[in-house]
Amino acid sequence: MTKAPILITGAAGFIGSHVAQAVVRMGGRVVGVDNLDPFYPRSCKEANLRELAASASFEFVESDIADARAMRGVFGRVRPAGVIHLAAKAGVRPSIADPVGYAHANITGTAVIQQAAAESGCDRLVVASSSSVYGNSLTAPFSETQDVNEPISPYAATKRATELIGHTHWKLTGMPTAELRFFTVYGPRQRPDLAIAKFLGAVAKGEPVTLFGDGSMSRDYTYIDDIVAGVLAAYDRIPAHGYRVWNLGGNHPVALGEMLATVERVVGKKAVVKRGPMQPGDVLRTWADLTRSSAELGYSPRTPFEEGVEKQWAWLKAER
């Protein structure tokens, strides 16, 4: 009998397609679920799936995770061993205009996935949370043990909600459940709405880039391969923990101005800079305390920032 597949939601997205490829490369089987949400072009998501689609170990199901009937059908047919739940409406700024849509996809969608996983006998669940749950915390680096009760965007609130319903799910079903707080992920296939992707494209074309705030805003950027390693380690190890929250960050906050200077060096062109005010919902900084994830997952980000930006740029040039 072949081993049961892992069901990965959001498999057509940036992080999901990389995680799915890593599982397939390691000899596993994957069923990917994604509704190809129009937040960014369907063509990007189809491109993300291209390599996977050629593998006999990958099956794609185009479906909405908030559709309980559809999910029950998929889980009942596939009987996955476990779930890596990455599907979500992502992005802080657009969530302010669409809090109901974000709540539906991210909170209801996660509840549906939890229930379908429990009913079909999955043995573990790994869920994407976000560094945004830390809000504008003054205590940095951000540790999993600190209070996270003051999210400042609808997106962040939905991610915190997934952690809370994940805890309930574990308490009631006993299903080991990991909640992973990703810190701004970048690299090939990065979502086109995120700053590095936008800046690389604009600088290359000589179009203006807008710097919000005074340039001191900083992010703990995390290269995609490091995130994939953290997700797979969490999948392996969560049964020993029950319910656990882990930070997956890059361990090196980079100020916005420094990020732009890196993009300029990598592209080999100066940016045309416009200034704008800090955007509602944006946090001032993110910085992961990795003590817990390194001790319990063996997590250790390996990709220096500039090297990661170079890899993303090489990918972008090849795609254009």
Ligand X SMILES: NC(=O)c1ccc[n+]([C@@H]2O[C@H](COP(=O)([O-])OP(=O)(O)OC[C@H]3O[C@@H](n4cnc5c(N)ncnc54)[C@H](O)[C@@H]3O)[C@@H](O)[C@H]2O)c1
Q: Shortest Cβ contact with ligand X: which residue?
A: 13
- Closest separation in Å from C-beta 13 to ligand X: 2
What gap in Å lies between CA 99 and CA 117, rounded to an integer?
Answer: 26
- Closest separation in Å from C-beta 89 to ligand X: 5
The tokens describing 308, both together, are: 């990661």
Q: Where do contacts with ligand X occur on this chain (CB under 6 A)?
A: 10, 12-16, 34-37, 39, 45, 64-66, 86-90, 105, 109, 128, 130, 182, 184-185, 191
| Bridging pattern class, strands 254-255 and 218-219 | antiparallel
> What separation in angstroms does the CA of 254 have from each of 36, 64, 257, 284?
31, 35, 8, 12
Choose between 53 and 240: whose C-beta lies nearer to ligand X. Answer: 53
Choose between 3 and 69: whose C-beta lies nearer to ligand X. Answer: 69
- Closest separation in Å from C-beta 35 to ligand X: 4
Catalytic pick among 102, 134, 155, 243: 155
Q: Is 186 a catalytic residue?
A: no
- Closest separation in Å from C-beta 108 to ligand X: 9
Choose between 70 and 175: whose C-beta lies nearer to ligand X. Answer: 70
Asked if 127 contacts 243 with a C-beta cutoff of 8 angstroms, the reply is no
Give pairs for 257-264: CB < 8 Å, separation 24+.
257/211, 257/215, 257/216, 259/195, 259/196, 259/199, 259/219, 259/221, 259/305, 260/199, 260/209, 260/211, 260/215, 262/305, 262/306, 262/309, 263/196, 263/199, 263/200, 263/203, 263/309, 264/203
- Closest separation in Å from C-beta 122 to ligand X: 17
Q: Which residues are catalytic?
A: 155
